[in-house]
Amino acid sequence: MEDVAWQVSSPPVPYEEAVALMEARVAAIRDGSGEETVWLLEHPALYTAGTSAKTPDLTDPSLLPVHRTGRGGQYTYHGPGQRIAYVMLDLGRRGRDLRAYVEGLENWLINTLADFGLAAGTRRGRVGVWVDLGQSGGEAKIAAIGVRVRHWITYHGISLNVSPDLSHYRGIVPCGISDAGVTSLAALGIGASMAEVDTALKRHFETTFGAAPAAPAPGFTDAQRAIG
């Protein structure tokens, strides 16, 4: 498998701009003019509504902007302090197994969180990656997954709560789940920097999906850097 380009953007990227860049990269991968790419970024604070979003789950539509999107899933929150990873891979060359791809995203997140001493996992019937809250009881979601595939090329991807403003989740029922909360590394007392999370994501991506070189991906501009 050829190397996967690895790109990081700063400051936060507007959501519609990010979608346009992803769609352009998907088209380039399909016609052979672009590389498979992982793009790490943050967004300004907003809600996104996936293809399964239900109107009652937007409990406070005045709190933040809402963007309709073609990814799977329901309502979710994005904002500063949350690491987004948009993953553009050619499943046509990787076995055309969407279930295996989603399981790969889950394992990528679980192994990344283990680097910070956190035992995370999946839950039957619930999308994303979860942690138990210990003595306080219950469980909380720490990472979300929402993907789309076009001509067997993936886009959208994952979001991992590093240190976002968790109060912003009050405007939605996250992913349609009302009987569990959301959390972050910071809320769990883990003081990981975004750079440390990025390094762990890169290392575990390589073991899960294949190599990710440090060279920036063509077509991505602005204040963007590659991870060394």
CA 224, CA 198: separation in Å to the nearest integer?
14
> Nearest CA to 77 among 136, 123, 146?
146
Angle between helices 194-208 and 98-114 (to 10 degrees): 140
Q: How much is the pLDDT for 51?
A: 87
Q: Which residues of 153-168 are buried (b: 16+ CB within 10 A; e: fewer)?
A: bbbbbbbbbbbbebeb
For tokens 């709560």, name the residue: 161
Beta strand ranges found along the chain (DSSP E): 5-9, 37-41, 46-49, 66-68, 75-78, 82-88, 120-123, 126-132, 139-150, 153-161, 181-182, 224-225
Q: How much is the pLDDT for 225?
A: 32
Domains and CATH numbers, the chain: 5-225 (3.30.930.10)
Q: How much is the pLDDT for 177?
A: 75
Task: Identify the helix (H) or strand (E) that includes residue 204.
Answer: helix 194-208
Which parts of the chain sit beneath pLDDT 70?
Answer: 1-2, 135-136, 179, 211-228
> pLDDT tens-digit profile of 50-98?
888 899 999 999 999 999 988 878 899 999 999 999 999 999 999 999 9
CA 66, CA 77: separation in Å to the nearest integer?
9
Q: Are 182 and 165 in contact (CB under 8 A)?
A: no
Which pTM was predicted?
0.89
Q: How much is the pLDDT for 219?
A: 56
φ and ψ of 28, to 5 deg: -70, -40
Q: Are 141 and 183 in contact (CB under 8 A)?
A: yes
Task: Identify the helix (H) or strand (E) that includes residue 185.
Answer: none
Neighbouring CB atoms inside 10 A of 9's CB total 21
Catalytic (active site) residue 175: yes
How many Å is the Cα radius of gyration of the chain?
17
Q: How much is the pLDDT for 83?
A: 98
Q: How much is the pLDDT for 73?
A: 83
CA 215, CA 194: separation in Å to the nearest integer?
19
Torsion sign, CA atoms 6, 175, 99, 15: negative
Q: Which of 175, 177, 182, 212 is catalytic?
A: 175
Q: How much is the pLDDT for 222?
A: 37
